[in-house]
Amino acid sequence: MSAPSAPSNPHPRVALVTGAAQGIGEAIAQRLIADGDRVVLLDIAPTVKDTAARIGAADAVRVDVTDIPELQSSIHDVATQFGRLDILVNCAGTCGRESFEDLSPATWQRDIDTNLTAMAFACQAAVFPHMKEQGSGRLINIASVSGKVGGIGPVDPAGRGGRSGAAYASAKAGAINLTRWIARQVGAWGITANAVAPGPISSPMAAGAEYGVSQSPIPRMGEPAEVAAAVAYLAGPDSSYTTGTCLHVDGGYVLA
Ligand SMILES: NC(=O)c1ccc[n+]([C@@H]2O[C@H](COP(=O)([O-])OP(=O)(O)OC[C@H]3O[C@@H](n4cnc5c(N)ncnc54)[C@H](O)[C@@H]3O)[C@@H](O)[C@H]2O)c1
């Protein structure tokens, strides 16, 4: 890793965003940078370094979040290099869209590992010892409304798949309850843990998927920056008494 960039804010927070090479994670990183934070991007994609250079991130690390020892040592390295860790955003995700009939153990394991297991162990590494010793920290986990309503997208009566898959929906439901569990543990240590559940958002992950958003109360896809705004709230001082919640950013999609 290169040396931390010079902060323009006199008291910049240090944030780590996983899955930040593109899409929603990149938008979250951009928003936190705009808010004055020093932001480190973490992603499996080699393009993460280019993204970091383009958006002015403090650093970038190329890591597969399903490699838990690598993930945790990267988090410890960032906290050590920058002297603290104020914000962790778990945004890395994969979304299988196979039919239930075609769902394989490999897809199941991948989506559980990326969307849920990595989240748990990233939060663990951020809290112990960094956020607990600081007596402060914000854990923000990107879930999905798929985890609230059993997957999103129209159900195909023939069962051919296409909507967010069973593994993904199960992992995102787990992410929401994992966030609640952690929130109950870490609140006394000055740390909050919250989830954000996006609905259909225009990003590479959603490309080509059919969501039927014309039936939504807000009848359009959401933008990554609209998810980033929710994260900025949960990372900032206005959410000081908010923990264990799951904030929907879905244009009312699950109300439709
Ligand atoms: N786009 C949507 O409609 C939508 C809706 C609800 C929730 N989400 C969630 O938002 C998050 C971001 O999604 P997106 O739409 O930006 O998707 P995306 O596919 O555009 O970006 C996901 C990022 O995660 C990274 N990633 C994937 N597997 C990884 C691994 N093993 N290790 C490290 N990085 C890995 C990818 O390289 C990529 O940069 C995901 O958790 C996703 O489930 C997206």
pLDDT at 210 over 70: yes
User: How many domains, in total, are found in the chain?
Assistant: 1
- Structural domain including 54 reads 14-251
Residue 8 maps to a domain? no
pLDDT confidence of residue 56: 98
Residue 133 CA to ligand 1 center (angstroms) comes to: 30
Interval 230-247 mean pLDDT: 98
Q: What is the pLDDT of residue 9?
A: 66
Alpha carbon of 111 to ligand 1 centroid (Å): 11
Provide the whole-model pTM.
0.96
Distance 102 CA to ligand 1 centre (A): 22
The pLDDT of residue 20: 98
- The answer to whether residue 5 sits within a structural domain is no
Q: What is the CATH number of the domain that holds 207?
A: 3.40.50.720
What is the CA(188)–ligand 1 centre distance, in A? 31
Structure confidence by residue, pLDDT tens digits, 124-176: 999 999 999 999 999 999 999 999 999 999 898 999 888 999 999 999 999 99
The number of the ligand 1 atom at minimal distance from the alpha carbon of 65 is 32
Is there a domain that residue 181 lies in?
yes
CB 193 within 8 Å of CB 139:
yes
Residue located nearest, by CA, to atom 2 of ligand 1: 201
The residue contributing the CA closest to ligand 1 atom 25 is 19
Mutation pick for ligand 1 pocket among 91, 140, 211 (CB with most ligand atoms within 8 Å): 91
Mean per-residue pLDDT of the chain: 95
Q: 184 lies in a domain?
A: yes
Give the Å distance between the CA of 29 and the centre of ligand 1. Answer: 13
Order of strands, edge to edge, in the sheet holding 59-62? 59-62, 38-43, 14-18, 87-90, 137-142, 191-198, 246-249
Residue 6: inside a domain, yes or no?
Answer: no
Active-site positions? 168
- The answer, yes or no, to whether residue 242 has pLDDT greater than 90, is yes
Q: What is the pLDDT of residue 68?
A: 99
Query: How much is the pLDDT for 24?
Result: 98
What pLDDT is stored for residue 8 in this prediction?
Answer: 54
Mean pLDDT in residue range 86-96: 98
Pocket test for ligand 1, best of 205, 227, 254 (most atoms within 8 A of CB): 205
Mutate to test the pocket of ligand 1, among 18, 22, 24, 55 (most ligand atoms within 8 A of CB): 24
User: What is the pLDDT, as a whole number, of residue 2?
Assistant: 47
- Compute the distance between CA of residue 91 and CA of residue 106 in angstroms, rounded to an integer: 21
pLDDT at 228 over 50: yes
Q: Which residues line ligand 1 (CB under 6 A)?
A: 19, 21-25, 43-45, 64-66, 91-95, 114, 142, 144, 198, 200-201, 203-206
Ligand 1 atom with minimal separation from the 146 CA? 6
Distance, in Å, from the CA atom of 209 to the CA atom of 87, rounded to the nearest integer, reads 31
Query: What's residue 74's pLDDT?
Result: 98
Ligand 1, closest atom to CA 23?
A: 16
Identify the pLDDT of residue 162: 87
Protein residue with least CA distance to atom 7, ligand 1: 144
Res. 213: pLDDT tops 80: yes
Answer whether 167's CB lies under 8 Å from 190's CB: no
Provide mean pLDDT across the span 193-197.
Answer: 99
Q: What is the pLDDT of residues 27-52, one digit of tens each?
A: 999 999 999 999 999 999 999 999 99
Tell me whether residue 189 is in a domain.
Answer: yes
Q: At residue 179, does pLDDT exceed 90?
A: yes
Task: Look at residue 256 in the predicted model and tell me its pLDDT.
Answer: 83
Is the model more confident about 119 or about 162? 119
What pLDDT score was predicted for residue 232? Answer: 98
